[in-house]
Structure 1
Amino acid sequence: PASVEEQRGVGDTVGTVKPVSCPAGEDKYHIRALMCLMGIFGNNWLLCCSLPTSRSEVRTNDILFVNLALSNLITNYLVDLPETLDFTRQWPMGRTYCGTFNFCSDLSESCSIFATMFITVYWHQKLVGSLKHGGAPVRMDNTYLVAALLAGSWTGAVVFSLPHFFFASKNTYEMLYLVLANVVPIIGIVCGSVQIAVTLLQNHKRIETITTEVTRRADVSVAEDHARSAGGNATISGNEAQKFASEVSPGNVPEHQRSVIKSKDKSRLSTDAQMRAVKSVLAVATVFLFFWLTHLVLSVISIVFKCSVIDEIISYVGAGYTCIIPYIYLHGVKKLKFSCRA
């Protein structure tokens, strides 16, 4: 019927079809509207900041972020916004709208969960590659491979979502969709996140040692060059070099020594940026699993007991995920500021 509202699942999980009423209270409406606007703003921000300015600047990380933002924006514009505005009660073709609504919801959710998995796998490869292979390129640095993976994920998402045109008012397809479209990528996210966490814990001291060693060597090099130019002893200890590096001003450092200092700072910043990005991936994976497990439990309860309150909670859980994760990623890649490349 035209008054049926389709409730979707968590931003990267299962979509459901349940005839429930819109939140009646003004507070509920305002909360839902705020979550919708936060999701639209955050995902558009992530999209704009990840767009390359030229073809030569196309990188795997940016491609994955653009894909994730587009996936979430489908939910924000075609699912959250209509539900927030509550115009589905006046929709002349209620059943057709229900099918379209759920198709868009599940298409977005499936693509988003695959995007989260690809981001997790990519940063796991980067972390392991940095520690074991000296920062050598990894397989997912190949943009053609990533494009093929994303094309496959969108194709699979369309295939998994099409049956909702035929099950617009039934829960028949829900559990099948859960198993086929979500279990495999969720296993990938969990495995990748666990391996990232273990790698970080096992190599925490090593990462600090590498950064400290790079800094010490650069300080020694600058101090010895300065000593040679002054006609003094060219052999300087690490403590003396560190003291010299902290006392000397940039204006008094010769040009060839400034390049060494810049190289040291660049290496340290690169390591810090990579660790920050990896930790943001772990944070997103943790948030994702929390929302997904919450949604899964509530969905099972809702199927058994048909409770409208639980349906509303499921809807809020879904909107909450898509409005949170873009800000976590923006913080992780240091783009949570009012300046974008695009």
Structure 2
Amino acid sequence: MAGLFGTSAATAAASSTTGDTSKDVEVSQLPGDSISDLSFCPTADFLAVASWDKKVYIYEVNGSGASGKWFFEMPGHVLCVAWSTDGTRVAAGDSTGVCSMVDLSKTAPGAATATQVAGHTDPNNQAITPAVKCVRFFQSAGKEILATGSWDKTVKFWDLTSPTPLGTLECGERVYTMDVKNDLLVVGTAERHIHIINLKDPTKIYKTITSPLKWQTRVVSCFSDATGFAVGSIEGRCAIQYVEDKDTSLNFSFKCHRQQDPNTRDIAKVYSVNAISFHPIHGTFSTAGSDGTFHFWDKDAKHRLKGYPEVGGSITATAFSRDGNIFAYAVSYDWSKGYSHNTPQNPIKLKLHPVIGDECKPRPGSKKR
């Protein structure tokens, strides 16, 4: 079902739901290349940032903004970053198939040395590098487990004590995106496959669906209560999907991150949905795209809460802080037009948006499902 939120992002921007970015704080110490991923620490006010400059940056976030606390280097371009569930360690995956980790509880501020804890290699020795595109931590039987998703078409699970994975999930296609919440793992691959996994049995696919969106999957993000997930595509659409068959009547999709021609009111441009983040307290969520805008939504009320003005470049990654009071977003080149368009003129920004008042609160009277 398209258009359930009633209006496109461009039309709604002129309405009373227009949000304010005037209080957003810009981080001054920035990576030297595009930002690929953001992750807030679950136990403290730290933000980890992955960059194509082959580094991971960890910032300490405070009332006035953020300051650089640690950084570490990787062999290749860093594509993903995640915190351990206890907030002491940061893992990152890169374009060479390496996943490395730093224990910050044992590391003085400044340059840190990362240790490789996982990796993917191409068994056929083909030219395509099996990059680690996604990393996530989760708890299983009281142990910390690291999941790595790769272009080698697998997700591997590691207990961080052995160079051999605990298990491997065959995904059939390249892993583009994945997310974890409680016992739910959702993996989005090439060819629009979406695998749903119960982490109590992580090497077995619970269910596979074809994305309800007709174009390439860009991002998946689990609901705060782990009953389902959101999917974003390169064609300016988002889908809300529940895990169990009994809830399929609640599934829907809607258009977003599109610009209308002001004269004809036809859709003039369609942009990729690059990032989706769920608010940890309210269960509402954000979308952000190549059009340089972000929006907050209430999936239960099928209602857009706020839409924000264009920020001067593609938004490549987003994250909410542990209490949901800060929404971080990265502005940088998103590689959608290839290497030749990655010029010095493309902005690189990291901004912190204070979540004030009812910006992310569900619509009054909305029915939780």
Q: TM-score range by the shorter chain?
A: under 0.3
Greater share of strand residues, 1 or 2? 2
Higher Rg: 1
Higher RCO (CA < 8 A, seq sep 6+): 1
Task: Give TM-score scaled by structure 2 length.
Answer: 0.23
